[in-house]
Every structure is written in structure tokens, then in C-alpha cells.
Amino acid sequence: MNSYIDTRPKKRSLTLKGHRTSVTLEDDFWRAFRAIASEKSVAVNTLAAEIDAERGTESGLATAIRLYVLRHFQAIANDQTQPQAQAS
């Protein structure tokens, strides 16, 4: 089964600094973003506001969210591939 059949990004609404805005993300990124927010016990809007504050002007919010999600899971993968220190 091809998991790339419907990968078109969809607009999602967020509230940042009291203002409604939208980001266009693929479902997989949106689900991962929501899962990260849940894992951190913060609202999606709160996590989006943190990313927005740190992103600067070089990229849009949707790109910044995608990169945040990617880096989050890269960090997990790196942690899992590092040899574990043995307890003495």
C-alpha cells in the first residue's frame, strides 16, 4: 500500500499571541506535532508560539514546525543509537 497517496498539506488554525493564524502542514507532520505537544504536556498553540518566537525571519512557521518535528525525532533516534554507559 502506498502511504503517499494523499500527502497534500492542509491548513490548520492556531492562535499565536492572541491572533488567529494558519499553517499548512501534511497530516503526518500535524499528528507528530500534536504528539510532541502532548508528550511535553503543553497545548499545540503554546508549542507553536515557542517555535514561532525562535524561528527568526528566515523561514515560515510551517517550515519551522516541520523542522522542529524532524529534529525532535532525529534526537530520539540519535539517543537510541548511542551506546549506553554501563553501570559499575
pLDDT at 57: 85
pLDDT at 32: 97
Residue pLDDT, tens place only, 32-87: 999 999 999 999 999 999 999 998 888 899 999 999 999 999 998 888 877 765 55
- 21 forms beta bridges with 14
- 25 forms beta bridges with 10
| Count of H-run helices and E-run strands, the chain | 3, 2
Mean pLDDT (whole number) for 11-21: 94
Does the predicted TM-score (pTM) go above 0.95? no
